[in-house]
Amino acid sequence: MMGSENDDESHLHSSKEEMENLFLREDGDPLTINHVNGDKSNSNYRSAMSTLSDSRHPSIVVTPADSDPLFAPPSYYRESRSPRSKPNGGDRGSSYLEPPSYADVIFSPFDDISEINGSEDGGSRHSQSSDSLSRSPSSLSSDYIKITVSNPQKEQEATNSMIPGGSTYITYQITTRTNLSEYGGSDFSVRRRFRDIVTLADRLAESYRGFCIPPRPDKSVVESQVMQKQEFVEQRRVALEKYLRRLVAHPVIRNSDELKVFLQAQGKLPLATSTYVASRMLDGAVKLPKQLFGEGGGASSVEVVQPARGGRDFLRLFKELRQSVSNDWGGSKPPVVEEDKEFLEKKEKMYDLEQQIINASQQAESLVKAQQDMGETMGEMGLAFIKLTKFENEEAVFNSQRARANDMKNFATSAVKASRFYRELNSQTVKHLDTLHDYLGLMMAVQGAFADRSSALLTVQTLLSELSSLGARAEKLEAASSKVFGGDKSRIKKIEELKETIKVTEDSKNVAIREYEQIKENNWCEVERLDRERRADFLNMMKGFVVNQVGYAEKIANVWTKVAEETSQYGRESS
């Protein structure tokens, strides 16, 4: 997401060699000791920011391939259960310490290295976040469920076709670690392919209408060649992990059967790809009630509660379309107007919010890039001065040259130090501002929830107007038949059938209304929850961002203050 420039990588590679040669290590400068040695797995700099930022925010940072050999690689470890975070019973976001100086607290080196278990998954170098469910009211981080996606492997499609060598696909290992009782087990692992994720997402969408379901990763329309490429696979792995973690963070969806099955059932995923009977045909003559009957008779609430799908519910779609058109033209008015107004307002507010989140997240990306660039250029300048220092020292003839070389060396090492701080600042900034990115996904989920509501309403309205037209027909028939003395056998039969149809439609309508009400309530709960959580998440994001900026600014100020003092004999005028 937040890309970083890699174009200076090669330059830095060679510069790193130079730096090793050039650096005079006399002063025990931690800069030289740690980084000239190219210590790549240097975890000393896992910033305490991760403890101070929102510990329960399930977002994972997507790390670009920023393997910077010159400086410590940015550490994206999010430690939500480090000993430093305050336990907070239900308190949303204040796992904050109150340090006298942020610089001191934040940057004391960590001895807590326990969470660096990148070994268990070959693919994942980063994001070992454990998703503690401190969103639940009883949170003391005692309930937990942690999902890891790892170990992508190529597998062959088992096919009976005559074509030799079937197509290949990638499967991922999905490991769950939990102490939730619903899962009856603490550690399990399954293999799934992307298609299974799609199935899971579809099933959840059907079962949880009205809920803000996190959107699944996109299907990519790419060639199979690209699909195999490591970069694509890695991106997808990260996206899958993020998605699953979001799912288990949702208080309702976490307990869904579909998800449990997905995470636990070994072998092939036992979720149907569609609830619709496969044999249902495109049948224009099938009437709506019969569709709703299904094969077993009686109103199948499952189908009623699903929006009409193209192809299968041809007739229903047609009717609902007609209904929505007549709605638009003020034909038969929907039963409740008042609520809709509130709903429409809310919808518009959500839309505005989404636009602003998009904008803010774009500007956040620019900010990150600018910070990155600043750090890089500062470092390059420092290196150039280091070279100049070495040169002057080698060629010095006069004392003035040696003095200058000395000044330059202090300056250069400070520039390199400051550069490193900028980069660390940035990697933390990415973590915090990623909250904005995450909410983009959630806003999509909200849209989905609202869409569920609208389509449920449409179903209700369609049934209502169907009822009213059926009723009108029945009345007409009865009126006509009453004129025939003794009864009109054929008409009476028709009336009977019609009354039967009306009854079934009435039942369906009631089911649809119940469903609609349920969805409305789901909507409302979800939006409430989202608003609450978003407020907490955004506040935490801001706090994290700000504390981070303060800490690193203090560090950088210290570096330069020292240089200013060391060169104070040169400043004649104050400015």
Nearer to another protein, 302 or 550 (CB): 550
Neighbours of 193 (CB within 10 A): 17
Q: Which residues are CB-neighbours of 293 under 8 A, at least 6 positions away?
A: 299, 300, 504
Angstrom distance (rounded) from CA 56 to CA 439: 15
User: Closest distance between another protein and the C-beta of residue 343, in Å?
Assistant: 18
Q: What is the 3-state secondary structure (H, E, C) of 491-529?
A: HHHHHHHHHHHHHHHHHHHHHHHHHHHHHHHHHHHHHHH
Judged by CB under 8 A, the chain residues 406 through 435 that form the site for another protein are 407-408, 410-411, 414, 418
User: Closest distance between another protein and the C-beta of residue 557, in Å?
Assistant: 4
Q: Which residues are CB-neighbours of 282 under 8 A, at least 6 positions away?
A: 311, 312, 314
- Regarding 400 and contact with another protein (CB under 8 A), the answer is yes
Judged by CB under 8 A, the chain residues 504 through 563 that form the site for another protein are 531, 534-536, 538-540, 542-543, 545-547, 549-550, 553-554, 556-557, 560-561, 563
Judged by CB under 8 A, the chain residues 331 through 390 that form the site for another protein are 349, 352-353, 356-357, 359-360, 362-364, 366-367, 369-371, 373-374, 377-378, 380-381, 384-385, 387-388
**How many positions of this chain bind another protein (CB under 8 A)?**
75
Helices and strands in the chain: count of H runs, count of E runs: 14, 3
Nearer to another protein, 249 or 556 (CB): 556
Nearer to another protein, 483 or 572 (CB): 572
Structure tokens at 304: 């009623």
Nearer to another protein, 66 or 258 (CB): 66
- Strands 168-178 and 145-156, by their bridges, are antiparallel
Tell me, residue by residue from 148 to 187, as one string, x for binding to another protein by CB under 8 A and - for no binding.
----------------------------------------
Burial track 349-375 (b if 16+ CB lie within 10 A, e otherwise): ebeeebeebeebbeebbebbeebbebb
- Give φ, ψ of 145 to 5 degrees: -145, 125
User: Closest distance between another protein and the C-beta of residue 436, in Å?
Assistant: 8
Tell me, residue by residue from 213 to 252, as one string, x for binding to another protein by CB under 8 A and - for no binding.
----------------------------------------
User: Closest distance between another protein and the C-beta of residue 534, in Å?
Assistant: 8
Nearer to another protein, 208 or 411 (CB): 411
Contact 174, 149 (CB under 8 A): yes
Structure tokens at 386: 């280091």
Nearer to another protein, 329 or 570 (CB): 570
Judged by CB under 8 A, the chain residues 65 through 94 that form the site for another protein are 91-94
Q: Which residues are CB-neighbours of 11 under 8 A, at least 6 positions away?
A: 380
User: Closest distance between another protein and the C-beta of residue 395, in Å?
Assistant: 5
User: Closest distance between another protein and the C-beta of residue 457, in Å?
Assistant: 26
CA distances from 518 to 305, 456, 504, 514 (A): 10, 10, 21, 6
Angstrom distance (rounded) from CA 289 to CA 497: 12
- Regarding 266 and contact with another protein (CB under 8 A), the answer is no
Tell me, residue by residue from 106 to 125, as one string, x for binding to another protein by CB under 8 A and - for no binding.
--------------------
User: Closest distance between another protein and the C-beta of residue 380, in Å?
Assistant: 5
